[in-house]
Structure 1
Amino acid sequence: MTAEDEALKALRTSQTLDLLIWAAPVAFAATDQLYDEDAGHDQMVIGILNFTHLRDLLDRATANGRFKVGEGLHGLGADAVKRGISPDAFKSMPLVEDNAIMRRDYKRSPGWVAEGYRILLQSYSFGKVDQIHWGQRSDAKRKVATQQYVAAEALFTDEDFDLESVQGIPDDDEFEGITLIAAHAFNPVTKQYELYVGQSKNPQHKEDSCWHWKKRILFGGTPIGGSGLAVPPLLPGDAASTEVDDVTVRIKGRRQAEEAGAANG
């Protein structure tokens, strides 16, 4: 089993992949509603909107950020959680236990941690996932790309997963696991979108990859010119295509959230 396999397995176990598969199309749909080319919206605006929506949705589903649950409470009421998203998005929100996925930011870059892996968000222009120059990104993303790549066999001690033996980001004292990147792209003109998860790296040579490994977990949209197999335009609550066949999406029903709200008074 490769390091990529181990990472994806842990992300499935923690439901982090479930959350990304749910949040990305909802976020892109929200960005699509706000995008206005005539107002001068460009790739920077698209990236900021996607990032903002994704951060909000991940915090919403994991009770972090502005959705952080107060001491003595077991969860926010349905009214607070569903405010600002479509009914379909709320109904399909994965059910995550309190404190199962925690915020562990790095250099003010929002991160979500579970099972020894942290996910940071990074936008890019659609179709250019292999052209991300980490050295030209934020200081956080530049430092993450210097993180040591650890082969799968090095992740085990006496057949047990031992993340304390894994070297993380050199100057990060708050987290000892592995930091990964969820790279997201959405083109509001063609409605094409994609989402990758992987471990970034700073290439030593021009022909080197900017990834130790990456996995495309979402894709879709209508190709430019209408060629190929078209996918319907993205809408709030639409299901997304996925290459990760064995990911089980756990559904959070309205009734469960409403029961949590009733219990909290």
Structure 2
Amino acid sequence: MLDLLADRGVLEALLWAHGSAYGQVRQDFNPEGGQKQGWIGYNAYTYLVDRLDRVFQCGDYQAPSGEGPVGRDVLAAGISDFAAMPDLAPGTVVRHDLNGSPGWMVDGWRWLLASYPFGQVTKIRWTDKSETKQTVARQPHNTDDGGLFTIEDVAGLPRLEELGDHEQLLRKTLVLAHAMDSNTVDFELFLGRIRWNQDRGDAWVWRSDLLDRQTPPPAGRTTPKLPDNPVPPSSTEANDAPVSIRRLPNDSSAPRAIGEA
């Protein structure tokens, strides 16, 4: 799976979006003005959705039908690290939300976002999360699902190709989980397949540490850093709250509220 993301340029884009989002948090964070840890979690999610849509030119940054790609000036508006943003062809990744929860899809694989307390990635209780995450975690999975999953077969489980499009995509929905340590300013960013851990076991069927695959930025590029003493994101999923994303000037529709359903 990671080879696919790397080959398509998606992995580099994910890492840029993550770094840019938290760089914006650093720029906007004002603890003296009363902003606290809930503000960090809420806005980190908001910025991450925005950066993912920018780099993939989808969502609020998708060109209207029949027009060419979104202009670079539109993609650069409002951010300071545009020069470091990978240049992907439009359509490489598309938006594919689930129950109002923002999702992105590449080659038939979708991912959603989730936050969690730093260092607790294996202990996320999906049973306590939103109905959307619970639905994803409950999906059966076995070795015939594209050869990706390695747990034992489930008796009577239909083969992936026997399912309808919606059920197939549910089976092929992953989670991009991110966290920050307020004391060390360390980050965690994992992509993987979640499991229904009502047994209080591991929260994942499998997961990959994306930051382990991060390479130094090319010469002339910088990676945004957080302040020395930031406040951590809330331990609850910040994306459960509705968030309004700025519409493009050429989009005449009303602002769209997004958030985890």
**TM-score, with length taken from structure 1:** 0.69
Which consecutive residues of structure 2, in runs of 5 or more, have no partner in the other structure?
Answer: 148-157, 213-220, 226-261
User: In 2 relative to 1, CA 177–19 (structure 1 residues): closer, same or farther, beyond 3 Å?
Assistant: farther
The Cα RMSD (Å) is 2.9
Helix, strand or coil at the partner of 1:175: helix
Which consecutive residues of structure 1, in runs of 5 or more, have no partner in the other structure?
Answer: 1-6, 157-163, 220-235, 241-265
Cα distance, 1:150 vs structure 2: 2.8
User: In 2 relative to 1, CA 130–177 (structure 1 residues): closer, same or farther, beyond 3 Å?
Assistant: closer
Q: Which residue of 2 aligns with 1:198?
A: 192
Helix, strand or coil at the partner of 1:105: coil
Helix, strand or coil at the partner of 1:218: helix
Give the alignment partner of residue 63 of structure 2, picking from 42, 65, 69: 69
Distance 2:211 2:84 in 1: 16
Give the alignment partner of residue 146 of structure 2, picking from 146, 149, 155: 155
Deviations 1:111-167 (A, max 9, x none): 11011210111111211111211121111111111122232x5526xxxxxxx9537
Q: Which residue of 2 aligns with 1:81?
A: 75
Distance 2:51 2:113 in 1: 12
Is residue 20–residue 224 contact of structure 2 (8 Å, CA) maintained in 1?
A: no
Cα distance, 1:83 vs structure 2: 0.7
Helix, strand or coil at the partner of 2:169: coil
User: In 2 relative to 1, CA 142–40 (structure 1 residues): closer, same or farther, beyond 3 Å?
Assistant: farther
Helix, strand or coil at the partner of 1:76: coil
Task: Provide the aligned length of Structure 1 versus Structure 2.
Answer: 207
1:101 aligns with 2:86: no
Cα distance, 1:168 vs structure 2: 11
Identity fraction in percent:
31
Q: Which residue of 2 aligns with 1:246?
A: none
1:52 aligns with 2:46: yes
1:238 aligns with 2:223: yes
Match for 1:101: what amino acid? V
Match for 1:95: what amino acid? D
Runs of 4+ in 1 over 6 A off after TM superposition: 167-171
**TM-score, with length taken from structure 2:** 0.70
Give the alignment partner of residue 118 of structure 1, picking from 90, 110, 118: 110
Is residue 109–residue 174 contact of structure 2 (8 Å, CA) maintained in 1?
A: yes
Is residue 11–residue 17 contact of structure 1 (8 Å, CA) maintained in 2?
A: yes
User: In 2 relative to 1, CA 197–14 (structure 1 residues): closer, same or farther, beyond 3 Å?
Assistant: same
Q: Which residue of 2 aligns with 1:26?
A: 20
Cα distance, 1:98 vs structure 2: 1.6
Cα distance, 1:189 vs structure 2: 4.6
